[in-house]
């Protein structure tokens, strides 16, 4: 199954300039190709193949006059040449009219991004070679903010097809097609309700619970190490301070790199754990999955809990669960934010208004049910799904 996704970009002014330039490079290569084909045809030659023109173009870039082209991703020009050749082939086949040159004024600025080079995270897209500066802090410039959060799945298992950046006259957009593994299996097992929490990461309506990875020895000791390192760095800065100026010594750089590695390690551990759990749940082939609204999870936020909520990365957990559900034809349902999944009794429906966060057991005042609090919530979520699925 192939799905197209298009999201508006929020480039800063410098990035806007660079995007426009990139589109200009694309147009240049496109027009150059048409020109080469037409010239060649006039001189009695046959259609020149895309590969040959690309080689020719690479040579062109070595001439001083065209050196500026090297400041842009060669994937932009590669694709523009191919697009122009394809336009010819379509014309030959009678599928479209004679290919026309792209004018600066009339044509829509756009360019191609290489499928292997493009990257997404929740909030940004990374394009290739917006800056040619290889320094790490400069490399940030390659990341452009997306107007919508979390729209593009990412991960090693995802293939992006034909990513294009386009300008509609007002805004810049990124569009990508994504190939999902073709899957016609319709899961028929019972739906699953999932309650997220701090004590445990998740409890499902099958009464399966998943531990909070942040409470494991390994993560705890890494976190401790991280704190120690952070303290060390700030002490070193303080020691080397001259008035209001802080100096970055070699030693500090070394420590900061260590810290960076440690952070990466922690992120990987959490990320992989999340993948493990979401995959396990999906493998049970439920016909639907119900989770709480993330705002509700966020409402648990207070000074003590917000840090642990942040560490839990519920967003990431949802993201993975959502796209994996999609791939497997499982309905992914987010309960209405007013649905009292924690406060309701899953047997009689009585709502217990005074349930506190510290109450680990749900005790129903009406039917006297006594049940683990999270398990009760997950059963409510499952019932919610049954009604609307």
Tell me how far, at minimum, the Cβ of 340 lies from Zn ion, in Å: 13
Tell me how far, at minimum, the Cβ of 195 lies from Zn ion, in Å: 17
Of 84-92, 181-189, 317-325, 358-366, the window that binds Zn ion (rule: CB under 5 A) is 358-366
Distance CA 276, CA 321 (A): 11
Phi and psi of 226, rounded to 5°? -65, -45
334 pairs with which residues across the strands? 291
Tell me how far, at minimum, the Cβ of 371 lies from Zn ion, in Å: 9
Kindly state whether residue 132 participates in binding Zn ion, applying the rule CB under 5 A.
no
Distance CA 379, CA 389 (A): 15
Q: For the window 369-388, what string marks contact with Zn ion as x by the rule CB under 5 A? A: x-------------------
Tell me how far, at minimum, the Cβ of 344 lies from Zn ion, in Å: 9
State which residue, 241 or 368, has the beta carbon closest to Zn ion.
Answer: 368
Other CB atoms within a 10 A radius of the CB of residue 304 amount to 8
Kindly state whether residue 367 participates in binding Zn ion, applying the rule CB under 5 A.
yes
Of 45-53, 78-86, 251-259, 362-370, the window that binds Zn ion (rule: CB under 5 A) is 362-370
Distance CA 242, CA 222 (A): 32
Distance CA 297, CA 304 (A): 14
State which residue, 222 or 347, has the beta carbon closest to Zn ion.
Answer: 347
Three-state SS across 307-376?
A: HHHHHHCHHHHHHHHHHHHHHCCCEEEECCCCCCCCCECCCCCCECCCCCCCCCEEECCCCCCEEEHHHH
State which residue, 62 or 350, has the beta carbon closest to Zn ion.
Answer: 350
Tell me how far, at minimum, the Cβ of 288 lies from Zn ion, in Å: 24
Kindly state whether residue 365 participates in binding Zn ion, applying the rule CB under 5 A.
no
Q: Which residues contact 124 (CB under 8 A, 6 or more apart)?
A: 143, 144, 145, 146
Out of 23, 219, 364, 379, the only residue in the binding site for Zn ion (CB under 5 A) is 364
Tell me how far, at minimum, the Cβ of 363 lies from Zn ion, in Å: 9
State which residue, 2 or 348, has the beta carbon closest to Zn ion.
Answer: 348
Tell me how far, at minimum, the Cβ of 333 lies from Zn ion, in Å: 23
Q: For the window 323-352, what string marks contact with Zn ion as x by the rule CB under 5 A? A: ----------------------x-xx-x--
State which residue, 253 or 348, has the beta carbon closest to Zn ion.
Answer: 348
* Residue 190 DSSP label: P
Q: How remote is the C-alpha of 211 from its chain's centroid?
A: 25
- Alpha-helix residue ranges (DSSP H) falling in 43-171: 50-60, 74-92, 136-139
Contact between 146 and 126 under an 8 Å Cβ cutoff? The reply is no
Phi and psi of 348, rounded to 5°? -105, -10
Q: Catalog residues that contact Zn ion under the rule CB under 5 A.
A: 345, 347-348, 350, 364, 366-367, 369
């Amino acid at each position: 199954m192939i799905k197209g996704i298009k999201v508006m970009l929020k480039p800063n002014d410098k990035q806007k300039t660079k995007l426009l330039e990139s589109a200009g490079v694309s147009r240049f290569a496109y027009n150059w190709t048409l020109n080469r084909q037409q010239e060649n045809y006039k001189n009695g030659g046959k259609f020149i193949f895309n590969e040959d023109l690309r080689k020719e173009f690479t040579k062109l870039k070595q001439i001083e006059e065209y050196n500026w082209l090297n400041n842009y991703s060669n994937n932009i020009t590669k694709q523009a040449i191919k697009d122009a050749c394809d336009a010819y082939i379509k014309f030959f086949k009678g599928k479209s009219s004679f290919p026309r040159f792209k004018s600066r004024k009339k044509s829509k600025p756009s360019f191609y991004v290489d499928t292997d080079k493009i990257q997404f995270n929740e909030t940004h897209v990374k394009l290739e070679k917006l800056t040619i500066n290889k320094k790490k802090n400069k490399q940030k410039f390659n990341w452009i903010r997306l107007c919508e959060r979390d729209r593009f799945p990412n991960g090693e298992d995802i293939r992006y097809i034909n990513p294009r950046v386009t300008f509609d006259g007002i805004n810049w957009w990124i569009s990508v097609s994504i190939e999902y593994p073709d899957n016609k299996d319709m899961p028929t097992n019972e739906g699953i309700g999932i309650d997220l929490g701090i004590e445990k990461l998740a409890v499902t309506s099958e009464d399966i619970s998943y531990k909070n990875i942040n409470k494991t020895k390994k993560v705890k000791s890494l976190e401790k190490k991280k704190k120690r390192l952070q303290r060390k760095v700030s002490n070193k800065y303080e020691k080397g301070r001259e008035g209001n100026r802080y100096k970055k010594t070699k030693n500090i750089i070394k420590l900061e790199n260590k810290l960076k590695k440690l952070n990466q390690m922690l992120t990987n551990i959490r990320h992989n754990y999340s993948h493990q759990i979401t995959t396990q749940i999906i493998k049970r082939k439920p016909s639907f999955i119900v989770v709480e609204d993330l705002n509700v999870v966020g409402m648990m936020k207070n000074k003590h809990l917000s840090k642990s909520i942040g560490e839990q990365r519920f967003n990431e957990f949802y993201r993975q669960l959502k796209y994996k559900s999609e791939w497997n034809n499982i309905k992914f349902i987010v309960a209405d934010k007013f649905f009292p999944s924690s406060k309701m009794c899953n047997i009689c429906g009585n709502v217990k208004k005074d349930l506190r966060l510290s109450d680990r057991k749900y005790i129903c005042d009406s039917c006297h049910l006594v049940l683990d609090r999270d398990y009760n919530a997950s059963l409510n979520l499952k019932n919610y799904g049954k009604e609307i699925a």
